[in-house]
Structure 1
Amino acid sequence: MSEVVLGVGASHSTLMNTHWDEVADLPDAVAFRDGLQEAAGLVAAARPDAVVIIGSNHFRGFFLDMMPAVTIGVGECVGAGESGTPGGPLPVDTGLARHLVDSLLENEFDAAFSLRLQVDHGITHSLQYLVPDLDVPIVPVVLNMFAPPLPTLRRCHRLGERIGRAIASDGEAKRVAVIASGGLSHRLPWPKWFATFSDDDRFLVEAWLNGRASWSEYEVRRRQIIRAAAPDINSDFDRRFLDMLADGGLGEILGYDNHRIESEAGNGGQEIRSWVAMAAAVGPARGRTLAYAPIPQWLTGMGVAVLSVGGDR
């Protein structure tokens, strides 16, 4: 029987790769980087045989021509490599990945699967900083967090519970770490695909619909739109969520609908789904926040937290 040995949640931002010099002297940015390094040490100390990583996709692997709610990579997995994140083939634990899909289906939870999955920094940023040598096979789980309608937080929690059960029933003896990538509060200058009002809105929706074979051709203008955005960070929401995670009491947040999440934490705050699923996969555990800081230069409330099974806070 395999077991989950550690859970980690970490915010991501490609600006950490491309514009680090702008914040290198800021204590908050340094503290977040140090929190990532501490978490990486804890992942290494846990000696995982596999890492289940739950994250989002920013329209570089999934597009509006086909947008599943949940997708598990069971074969090839390739990093898009945007903004200095890992590109090219990533090692996949295909046996565990297939077992997760089969187990979910047997428990009436339909997940899409992919034998050739392209992921972006919604998956690879955390691998880059938490599993820097990329020598541990992964199981990528991609949740739709940006193209409404989105799976509810309760649904994501149930997904995490079933992932945890599947790991425990795989008939192996693997040590598995579960990593959540995304969030916390932030607002991207992204329209809803069905409500475009400006030229930038229409450009982005075109990129999201037609970019499957040419996503990189849209990248320059897309990056300019994001860099021009004003930060919208809700530190109170972030700290409250991290406290709930540490206390193991996510019940309150599970009642939030999409509108409430967006109104309090921005459209990027929808990425807490990965954290919710991770916590449910880990099960009863002690939590600890390693770092939190609102970093307006990255548009995001940046947090790192760990859940230690049966451990101390």
Structure 2
Amino acid sequence: MAKITGIYTASHTPVMLNFPDRIPAALRDEIFGAYAAMGQDFMAGKPDVLLVLSNDHLHNFFLDNFPAFCFGCAESYESPIEHWLHAKRRTFAGDQAFGSFLLQRALENSFDPSFSMEMVLDHGSLTPLELAGMDPDLPVVPILINCVQPPMPIMRRCYDLGTFLGKAIAEYDRVERVAILATGGISHDIATPRMGMVNEEFDRTFLDLLESGDIDGTIRYATDFVHTAGNGCEEIRMWMAAMGAAQGARYERTYYRAVNDWYTGIGIGRFVVGA
């Protein structure tokens, strides 16, 4: 029976890696330090495998085929797929047996995800892992959630997916320790006239609700007000899945800043599991 060692939420933006000097050095060091602290906490749990909840930025999918959920079932994953991202190219080891197990259990539990044995990972997955200093040899199982092209899975469905994942992980007996990283958001807008605007009020209210433990209220707020926080804020679907996997565990934010010159409300936090 596998144990969840940690569930983490973290924003991602390629600007962190491509233009780190666009913000004052002190602020940059503060943010990078928060990611490094997340990585230290993450590795202290000594996970055997990492489940990455992220989204695809039109690299694996396009309008001719865009699943709501896609489970990675590959032996390895190339990253980053973007040639312009200032990050070293690397190959993440996969855990094909674990990914396949989750896929089969999802089908048995009334989810109908797509799956891929040739998935590539973009900045959404790579950026927080790079900044966190994750062990490069730790196997990953990516699950991609459509946050880009409507129609998207509703917030409640993403929460339900996370609830399923938490239970399925507990049933798996081929690894002992599993960590989860949900990455995306918070408020930001890409390729619109609002790009560079951050809705700090939305972000702080959203984080307050997560910390309050009000699951229904958090889902309702995310559903009703995500449109006020930019098209990139749709990525909080991964945070909904993380909340489901946490099965009521307390959430604590470890960092938040509205960083307009990085176009994003930068949020980091964790669900305190096993406590």
TM-score (norm 2): 0.93
**Partner of residue 135, structure 2:** 133
> Over aligned residue pairs, what C-alpha RMSD do you find?
1.8
| Alignment partners' CA distance in 1, 2:168 and 2:234 | 25
C-alpha contact (below 8 Å) 2:59/2:81 kept by paired residues: no
| Alignment partners' CA distance in 2, 1:286 and 1:255 | 18
**Partner of residue 233, structure 2:** 269
**Partner of residue 234, structure 1:** 199
Alignment of 1:116-265 (within 5 A): 116-189=118-191, 230-256=195-221, 260-262=225-227, 264-265=228-229
What's the CA shift for 1:61?
2.2
| Alignment partners' CA distance in 2, 1:282 and 1:85 | 31
For the residue of structure 1 that corresponds to 2:182, the secondary structure is: strand
Larger Rg: 1
Is 2:251 the partner of 1:287? yes
| Alignment partners' CA distance in 2, 1:54 and 1:10 | 11
For the residue of structure 2 that corresponds to 1:119, the secondary structure is: coil
TM-score (norm 1): 0.82
| Alignment partners' CA distance in 1, 2:72 and 2:16 | 26
For the residue of structure 2 that corresponds to 1:117, the secondary structure is: coil
| Alignment partners' CA distance in 2, 1:237 and 1:86 | 34
**Partner of residue 54, structure 1:** 53
**Partner of residue 222, structure 1:** none
Is 2:5 the partner of 1:16? no
Structure 1 unaligned blocks of 5 or more: 191-227
**Partner of residue 29, structure 2:** 30
What's the CA shift for 1:148?
0.3
The one-letter code of the counterpart of 2:258 is P
| Alignment partners' CA distance in 2, 1:25 and 1:86 | 22
For the residue of structure 2 that corresponds to 1:95, the secondary structure is: helix
**Partner of residue 224, structure 1:** none
C-alpha contact (below 8 Å) 2:48/2:175 kept by paired residues: no
What's the CA shift for 1:268?
0.8
Say if 1:272 and 1:281 are closer, same or farther in 2 by CA, change over 3 A.
Answer: same
C-alpha contact (below 8 Å) 1:248/1:286 kept by paired residues: yes
Say if 1:106 and 1:64 are closer, same or farther in 2 by CA, change over 3 A.
Answer: same
| Alignment partners' CA distance in 1, 2:141 and 2:211 | 25
| Alignment partners' CA distance in 1, 2:60 and 2:89 | 13
Identity, % of aligned pairs?
A: 32
What's the CA shift for 1:31?
2.4
Q: What is the total number of aligned residue pairs between the two structures?
A: 272
For the residue of structure 2 that corresponds to 1:8, the secondary structure is: strand
C-alpha contact (below 8 Å) 1:72/1:111 kept by paired residues: yes
For the residue of structure 2 that corresponds to 1:255, the secondary structure is: helix
What's the CA shift for 1:256?
4.7
Say if 1:242 and 1:257 are closer, same or farther in 2 by CA, change over 3 A.
Answer: closer
Q: Which runs of 4+ in 1 moved over 4 A?
A: 256-259
**Partner of residue 106, structure 1:** 108
